[in-house]
A and B are shown apart, each in its own frame.
Chain A
Amino acid sequence: MKHDALTEGVYYILLSLQQPLHGYGIMQNVSDLSNGRVTLAAGTLYGALNTLIKKEWIVQISDEGPKGKKEYMITAEGKDVLKKELIRLTELVENGNKIIGG
């Protein structure tokens, strides 16, 4: 399978969903993980979550009534994508360090 680069947002969403989280929890976690550098706005996150569900990289695991907060969690396929992305990112960083790094 050809593997394209993930966006920063998708990468951090998948990292956050190693544990079940609802939308606002994901937004806070992504901001914390990146020390406030990456902020996901709610509409952007909404679209990304729907795309990831369609790709079956994450699933929605709870929906308690119409006002209940929906929680999301990574799937085995999502974990696989994340691992491959980590290998790709490591390659980028290693090559960068080798050529211009200290």
Chain B
Amino acid sequence: MTKVVNKVFLMSDYDKEEQWLNEMADKGFVLTKVIYTKYYFEETKRRYKVRLSYMPKKYKAFISFLEESGAHYIGRTNNWGYFSKEITQENPTFEIYSDNQSKLNQINRVLKVMGGFTVACSLFIIAVTLYFLITYHSLAGKWGLSLIPLAIVWILYSIITVILIYKRQHLIKEREIFE
């Protein structure tokens, strides 16, 4: 039986997303496909663990490396790769990252992209605002209103970036004593 669920997760909530996917797997629904916010599950009697990874640059090499180690590649959306592996008595767990440094490297890759978006969006808003002020001497009217959706996107990007920075700091703190 196939089950389709529509669910939205922020880029910074990848751990919550992973947790939810594993709760579904525990209930007997393993992820088989992801298209943006649409999650496709297949009913199964086997036990699976699902993991997410923000893909490095050469993502094809990364996928085949993980497949060699027995992981199954489900798909990719927004550069997040979804992987699953059957859980058995010999292999009771499945992780993609086992140390602090590689988790930090992953969050740095996400931050680079989200931070870039936030900065680009900020510059665009400043440019548009200046253009209106110079051309129409005001931000009122329908042109000024077009700034509102831009501002909402900017706020969303900023929130995600701040959460990611916070998570990054947490990982760095953990590393101060233990390596």
Interface residues, chain A, with chain B CB atoms under 8 Å away: 5, 7-9, 22-24, 27, 39-48, 66-67, 69
Contacts and interface: CB of A to CB of B under 8 A. Distances in A.
Interface residues of B, number: 20
Contacts, number: 57
Given A41-B97, A47-B105, A5 B66 contact: no
Contacts of A7: 99, 101, 179
A38 B97 CA distance: 13
Given A7-B179, A8-B179, A46-B62, A40 B68 contact: no
B71 interface: yes
Contacts of B169: none
B65 A42 contact: yes
B97 A43 contact: yes
Nearest to A26: B69
10 contacts: A23-B65, A24-B68, A40-B98, A43-B95, A43-B106, A44-B97, A44-B98, A44-B102, A46-B65, A67-B64
A43 B96 contact: yes
Contact of A42 (B56, B66, B99): B66
B179 A27 contact: no
Contacts of B179: 5, 7-8
B53 interface: yes
Contact of B69 (A5, A24, A47, A48): A24
A34 B69 CA distance: 19
A27 B98 CA distance: 12
B102 A43 contact: yes
